[in-house]
Structures are given as C-alpha cells and as structure tokens.
Structure 1
Amino acid sequence: MGEEFLLGLTVLVIKSAVVLLVVLTLAAYMVLFERKLLGRMQLRYGPNRVGPYGSLQLLADGVKLLLKEDLVPDGADRVLFFLAPGILTFTTLAVFALVPFGGNIELFGRTVPLVIGDTDIGVLVFLALSSIGVYSVALGGWASNNKFSLIGSVRGVAQMVSYELPLSLSLVPVFMLAGSLSLTDIVDAQADYPFILVQPVAALIFFVCGLAESKRIPFDIPEGENELQAGFHTEYSGMRFALFFLGEYVNMILLGALMAVFFLGGWRGPWLPGPVWLLLKIMIVPFLLIWTRGTLPRLRYDQLMHFCWKILMPLALVNVIVTGAVMAALH
C-alpha cells in the first residue's frame, strides 16, 4: 500500500511538473510571438536586437523586471497588495489540472491517464476557479490606494462577472451532448465529430466571453491606458507586475485549451500524437486574440455591457432551449 501511494504521488508530481513547465514556457514565448506578429501586421520588425531574430528578448525582459524596484504606494493595504497578483496566475494554472492532454500511456508499469486530476464535475471546478480570479483584479485596484486603479478594478469586476454568465450558459449544450461534466468525458464524446460542428453558436459565445474574461482588446477597458494610465495594475512594478502580465498570457493559453476540449475534439486527431494535436488546436485561439488586438478598437463601457446583457445572454439562452428541444425530438 505504501509503495503504491508513493508511485501514485511520483506520477502526479511528474505530470504536474511537465504541465507547469510547458504552460509557463508557452506563456513566455507567447509574448515574443505576439510582438512579432503585431509587428508583421503593422509593417514593422518587432523585437530583433537581442539574440537571433529577437529570440533572447524574453531573457532581457526578465532581467529588466527582476532588477526593477518593487514599489508599494503610501496608504496601500500591503497584505492585499502583495497577494493580488498571484491570485489570477494561481487560479489559471490550477485549471490546467483538469485538462486532458491525451489518452493513456504506460509509465512505471502502470496505465497513466494524461490528465492531472480528472473529476466528474470538472466544468463546475473550472467555473469556480475562474470566478476566484476576479478577486485578483478587485483587490489589486482597491489595495493600491489609487483612484485610477480603483476605477479599473470596478470596471474589471463588472466586466468579468457579467461575461461569466453567457460563458457558463454556452457550456450547457456541451455537457448536454456529452452527458457529463468531466472534461475527459467531453473529449471522449467527440470521438466521431467535434462539437463545434453542431454547436457553432455556443463556440462563438464561449470564445467572445473568454476574450472578455482575458481583458484583451476590444475588451481591455479595465486597463484603458489612455483613460486610466494602466488601470488596476497602475501601481505595480517589478515581479508583481510580471505576475499580472504572466497571468494574462497563461489565460490566453487556457482559453485555447478549453476551446479545444469543449468544441474542437480535445487531443483527438489522426496521425499525430494526442498532445501534439491539442497544442496545435490551443495555438489557434492566441493567434485570433493577437489578431483582434491588431485589428479592433476598444469598446465603450456601455457598448460592452449592452453586448453582454442584450445580445450574448439571450443568444446563449435560446441556444440552450433549441439544443434541448432538438435532443428531446431526436430521442
């Protein structure tokens, strides 16, 4: 019994370490990928001075952030000011424990599923963790003792809470079709066809709401540089700012992973190994996010809320009703 426990713990640690390493590496190079891609879109070079083709720019940026002075504003709530940046990064990374990266493999003489922690209520755990991430924005702005930061955090909380509702409703048809809330079961249910073929409306709503949850253009109102300096993280510097920055890019990868799991068949695909298929599908979403950043203007706050409550919410509800009606008619 003791050997079995130690072996299971070792496998869990190995899987967690590999996923953490891959996700953080992808997030780091996503910064370089975005700067290069935006440069191409805007007819300029992007980073090209540090290393071949700018490949060592990440190292230069990391050293710069490490050497920057870590400032705390006068009158700030020091405990919450220190905690806020890590909340978003931690909750986003925690969701990756639910994502199946492939089928089963043989390791140490036992069958090991390529998922860290499968659970029957995986969708609910994902939604709960994404809700906790709201506190990072709220506490970061409030604890800074800066009116611009506070306005940014209020905007961010209202935006994230609002768009969580249509995002949650967009997933209802998915687990209606799969008959389970487990992310592994949802991927298995797409063995014959990806759900995006029968739920394109749900996929579109999920993508748009994920874009809003990520606070990316055209939904970057919580940061609004020309209005709020930098919004909720105005007073952050050094590695604390880097945690906010890292959380945004990890969230981009997470959105890609969830989009792949819920609508694109997850790791399933011909010829290539499962993890390779999942990685290819994941990269579609960050590319689209970067494309929208280089293309679209920022929405006004009233436009953002109007779009959520008067367009996405009714559309998501109608999609749930239609899906239920069609399934009942077919059965």
Structure 2
Amino acid sequence: MYYLPPTLISILEVLLVIVPALLSVAYVTVAERKTMASMQRRLGPNAVGFFGLLQAFADALKLLLKEYVAPTQANIVLFFLGPVITLIFALLGYGVIPYGPGLSISDFNLAILYLLAVSALATYGILLAGYPKKQIIIYIIALRSTAQLVSYELILSSALLLVIILSGSLNLTVNVESQRAVWFILPLFPIFIIFFIGSIAETNRPPFDLAEVESELVSGFMTEHAAVVFVFFFLAEYGSIVLMCILTSLLFLGGYLILDIIYLLTYLDFIVWEIFFIDWVLVLDGLLENIMSTPALEGLIYGFSLGLKSSMMIFTFIWARASFPRIRFDQLMSFCWTVLLPIVFAFIILVPCILYSFDIFPVNLDLF
C-alpha cells in the first residue's frame, strides 16, 4: 500500500477542484456566445471544433501568444498584482463548496462567512488594477466599480442572513441538508430574487456592468491590460459567475439533493394510483435507493444534480444579459440603497417574527 504525503494529497485535491472549474469557465463563455447568438438570431461561434466547442481554447491561445505591454508611467508591481489578486480570490471560494455529502476540500463551519470575506477582498484587485495606470478616467472607473461591489455586498450578506436564520448554521453542508423537507426558494422567494440581482451586480454582469461597459469605457478598469494579464481578469469574472450560481443552488435550490424531489412527488402518489393503478413514485424511489447504495453512482448523481441546477442559474445570467438594457450608475446605486436594502431589512424583521410565532427556530438559534 503506497503512502502519499499530506502535501501531495492537498495539491491533488486542489487540482481536482480548480481544473474542472477552469474548464467550466471556458465552456460557459461558449455557452454565453451561443445562447446570445440564438436570442439575437445569429450563428455564434461555429468554426473552431464541433459546433464551435473549441472556440474558448482558440481565444485563450490567442491571448497567451500576444505580447503584453505595460504603461511606462504605471506602477509595474501593482499593475500585475491587481489581476493576480482578482483571480486568486475568485478561485478561493471553490474550496468550501460541497459537491456532495463530504465532497469538499474543506467542510468549514464558517463557510458562508469565508465566502463573504473572499468576495470582499476581491474588490482590492479591481482597485489595484485601476490605481497604478496614472490615468484619472481609469482610476475613477475603478472607484465606481468598487463602490458598486461594496454596496451590493451588503445586499448579499443581508440575504444570506435569512438563510442562516432558517438553517441555523454557517456551514454550507448543513444549509443543504436543511432543505431536505423544502427548498429555501419556496419560503424565501423574494429573497432569492434579490440575491440573484445582487449576484449579477456583484459579478459586474450586464445590465449592471457599469465598470466595464464596452460601448463607453472600452474595458473599464481592465483598459491597458492585455495578453496573459487580461486572461486573469477574464477567468476571474467567469469563475465568479460559476461560483455565484453554485452558491445560489446550494442556498436556495437544495444543492446536491435529488431524492427530495421523490419525497415531494409522494404527495401525488394517491392521485396517480387512482388514475393509472401504478405506484410509480414507489418504483422511482426504490430505483434511486438502489442506485444511491453504490458510492460511485451516489457521488455522480449528487454532482449531476448540483451541476444541473447551477447550469440553469448560469443560463438565467445569460438570459438577463441578453434581455435587459443597461442602466445608469446613479440608478444602480439608488436601486440598491432605496429599493433592495429596505426590502431585505423588512424580511430580516419579518422572518424571525414568523419563526418565533410558530416556535420553529432552528436549535442553534433558539435563544428565547
């Protein structure tokens, strides 16, 4: 029996998570271009590979082979440090994502707090990307982007507070297991919508991409970054999109759970039996229980469930980009502080009152 040192095991675990995440980022870009092309009645990428599936790798190769140019008056250290910080903090969040029961690099008890801290620190990368270029316009754009991210970070953290109140824990696995009875999207549907809007603004996606709007600002704070350095920003942006979609699936859509669908279908069992004389729910339940008894198939089904829900959220991100017009920066900030924040604060007061009235506080939060 071979013994692997702990350092090598840690490296292998990180590679098993980061490499599929980067590959998913590559195909999210292809999916976005194909989906938007379909909505706008265009063909989209279809020349490189089968149905254009290798277009992302062709773009990456083009950027890697280009010569990078640094402004002569810029602070070179900060010029390269900004994209690196942005990419690192965009990928650090994958370390606490549970892809199944026990299938995570770190089953951290403060995982939600860790994700909030990591996303907040990624703001420094954007600020450092705009500061060293000695151009006042780019610096103002970076400040504007920072103000947007800090403002909508408050919306996300406030929405997460309600999920924590229902589950009683900051652990993502506990939050997922708490949804075996009912997904949190049902009792917290308005919070789900607000969290989704905040996720779009947090990832600088249209219609909230005021920091990098191509028609007005070229590339915003990424202006003058090229070649490999620009790839870091590109991977960080789409990596954050995938991470936010996975987090939304974990917090509101049951995460990796799939058997709970069968439990919900049992409510229709009597009606189906009366019509077709077939106990089809029992048949499906037994079939899934036999499949889930095999550890390899169990992990595969859990991963497929989380991937399917995350893919639906990614499609919704793309749909929002192709459907809604871009708004002004003052409208963006006003919408955050005068519309979303009061609604979230109202739910923060309402939900604990309802839980206290029916005496259904989670055990960890039962302080009364």
- Band of TM-score, shorter chain: over 0.9
- AA at the equivalent of 1:221: L
* 1:141 and 1:233 in contact (8 A); partners too: yes
Q: Is 1:69 aligned with 2:71?
A: no
Corresponding residue for 1:43?
41
Max Rg structure: 2
Task: From 168, 181, 191, give the equivalent of 2:157.
Answer: 168
Q: Is 1:251 aligned with 2:240?
A: yes
Q: Is 1:182 aligned with 2:168?
A: no
Task: From 262, 274, 281, give the equivalent of 2:302.
Answer: 274
* 2:184 and 2:254 in contact (8 A); partners too: yes
Distance 1:7 1:193, change over 3 A: farther
User: Mapping of 1:242-321 within 5 angstroms?
Assistant: 242-270=231-259, 271=288, 273-321=301-349
Corresponding residue for 2:284?
none
Q: Is 1:201 aligned with 2:175?
A: no
How far apart, in 2, do the equivalents of 1:158 and 1:99 lie?
27
- Could you tell me how far 1:192 is from its partner in structure 2? 1.4
Corresponding residue for 1:118?
107
- AA at the equivalent of 2:333: M
Task: From 342, 347, 353, give the equivalent of 1:325.
Answer: 353
Distance 1:67 1:9, change over 3 A: closer
How far apart, in 2, do the equivalents of 1:61 and 1:193 lie?
43
Residues matched between the structures, number: 318
* 1:252 and 1:285 in contact (8 A); partners too: no
269-278 or 133-142: which moved more?
269-278
Distance 1:147 1:196, change over 3 A: same
How far apart, in 2, do the equivalents of 1:143 and 1:249 lie?
24
Q: CA RMSD in A?
A: 1.4
Task: From 84, 87, 90, give the equivalent of 1:86.
Answer: 84
* 1:266 and 1:278 in contact (8 A); partners too: yes
- Local SS of the residue matching 1:32: helix
* 1:170 and 1:206 in contact (8 A); partners too: yes
- AA at the equivalent of 2:253: L
How far apart, in 2, do the equivalents of 1:92 and 1:24 lie?
11
- AA at the equivalent of 2:13: K
- Could you tell me how far 1:9 is from its partner in structure 2? 5.1
Corresponding residue for 1:106?
none
Corresponding residue for 1:136?
125
Gaps of 5+ in 1: 104-112
Q: What does the per-residue CA deviation read over 1:257-313, in whole Å, with 9 as the maximum and x for residues that have no partner?
A: 100111111110134711110111111121111111111111101100110000110
- AA at the equivalent of 1:235: E
Q: What does the per-residue CA deviation read over 1:165-196, in whole Å, with 9 as the maximum and x for residues that have no partner?
A: 01100011111111111111111111211111
Task: From 187, 207, 217, give the equivalent of 1:228.
Answer: 217
User: Mapping of 1:10-25 within 5 angstroms?
Assistant: 11-25=9-23
57-66 or 253-262: which moved more?
57-66
Q: What does the per-residue CA deviation read over 1:236-275, in whole Å, with 9 as the maximum and x for residues that have no partner?
A: 0001111101111111100111001111111101347111
- Could you tell me how far 1:162 is from its partner in structure 2? 0.4
- Could you tell me how far 1:212 is from its partner in structure 2? 0.2
How far apart, in 2, do the equivalents of 1:41 and 1:275 lie?
29
Percent of residue pairs identical: 39
Distance 1:263 1:7, change over 3 A: farther
* 2:26 and 2:57 in contact (8 A); partners too: no
How far apart, in 2, do the equivalents of 1:74 and 1:152 lie?
20
How far apart, in 2, do the equivalents of 1:290 and 1:148 lie?
29
Corresponding residue for 1:108?
none
- Could you tell me how far 1:8 is from its partner in structure 2? 5.6
* 1:101 and 1:278 in contact (8 A); partners too: yes
* 1:166 and 1:209 in contact (8 A); partners too: yes
* 1:73 and 1:144 in contact (8 A); partners too: yes
